[in-house]
Amino acid sequence: MTSPDEKYTRETITGIRVWVPGKLFSFTCTRPNGFRFTAGQFARLGVDNTLNIPGEPDIIWRAYSMVSGPFDEHLEFFSIVVPNGAFTSHLSKLKVGDTVCVDKTNFGFLTTARFESGRHLWLLGSGTGLAPFLSILHDPATWDQFEKIILVHSARTAEELVYQAEIQAFTDHPLMSELVPDLNSRFVYVPVVTRERVANCLTQRITQLIDNGELEQVTGLAFEQTDSRFMICGNPEMVTDIRKSLKNKGFSPARRNSPGEIAVENYW
């Protein structure tokens, strides 16, 4: 049992989906009572150091964005398996019925509140950077704020383009379809695979697609300072490169007391 004065709760894993064996998986767990978050935020997850990895504490903590929406009764997370990683070496071995620690506090600023205006929301992600964007898409408040949302997800191979069924069925979601008028015409999905050719997928890195204008051409939406807002999530190098590409086109970070067009997350 977790005492009330502790900063975390122990939650039960209720489901596991292996997307790519030994590489990518998702899991759901119970949601702590009173745990609230804004779509796009992340939680600190902890696993017991049962492997007794030297130099690591009894509970190893890492930051994970929520895949689940802010109104879901469960929490869902998407993870890569890091070879010999202290955290994922434990996490990837957990089974349904095991427990994971969840910090009682939510974290992060990759939320649509970063933007004071804008009509088109571009969600640019690679790998597990898809996670917060799925949460943002399933929040009706996002659709009240923006007229059109474009999800661009880049992966190395086709098998790493996960959550395909959920994304393809998103516009048929009964609750979202009821709450969001014209949902089908307001959502654009752009899959990108960089290391093999796949039908109906772009093949260049997101930075190249921004630089050469192909992303605008494929979606039929121009990058404009008055309309376009960008959220970026993925590995730090990718985030840095995309920020540079957007900066070269005249866009700037959205900071506190300084309106801008770009929002990123800093987990470290």
**Mean of pLDDT values over 147-171:** 93
Q: What's the chain's average pLDDT?
A: 92
CA 232 – CA 229 distance, rounded (Å): 10
Locate tokens 């929520």: which residue? 66
- Cα–Cα distance measured from residue 75 to residue 61, given in angstroms and rounded to the nearest whole number: 17
What's the whole-number mean pLDDT along residues 132-155? 95
Q: Model confidence over 243-257: pLDDT tens digits?
A: 999 999 999 999 877
pLDDT, average across residues 50-68: 92
Strand 24-30 relative to strand 8-20: parallel, antiparallel, unpaired?
A: antiparallel
CA atoms within 13 A on the CB side of 4: 1
Residue 238: how many CA atoms within 13 Å on its side-chain side?
19
Residue 153 confidence (pLDDT): 97
CA 8 to centroid of chain Cα atoms? 22
User: Could you give the residue ranges of the DSSP H alpha helices within the chain?
Assistant: 88-91, 131-137, 140-145, 164-168, 174-179, 183-186, 206-211, 214-219, 236-248
Statement: residue 174 has pLDDT above 80:
no
Q: What is the pTM of this model?
A: 0.93
**Could you tell me which of 199, 182, 11, 7 has the C-alpha nearest to residue 98?**
11
Domains, the chain: 8-103 (2.40.30.10), 112-264 (3.40.50.80)
Residues 6+ apart with CB under 8 A from 112: 39, 40, 121, 136, 141, 142, 145, 146, 231
What is the C-alpha separation between 266 and 268, in angstroms, rounded? 6
How would you class 233 by CB atoms within 10 Å of its CB: exposed for 0-12, middle for 13-18, buried for 19 or more? buried
3-state secondary structure of 56: coil
CA-to-CA distance for 103 and 10, rounded, in angstroms?
9
Supply 121's token pair. Answer: 């929301």
- Give 1's pLDDT tier (boundaries 50, 70, 90): very low
- Position 168 scores a pLDDT of 87
Task: Give the C-alpha separation, 201 to 195, whole Å.
Answer: 11
As a whole number, mean pLDDT of residues 76-81 equals: 97
Q: Are 141 and 259 in contact (CB under 8 A)?
A: no
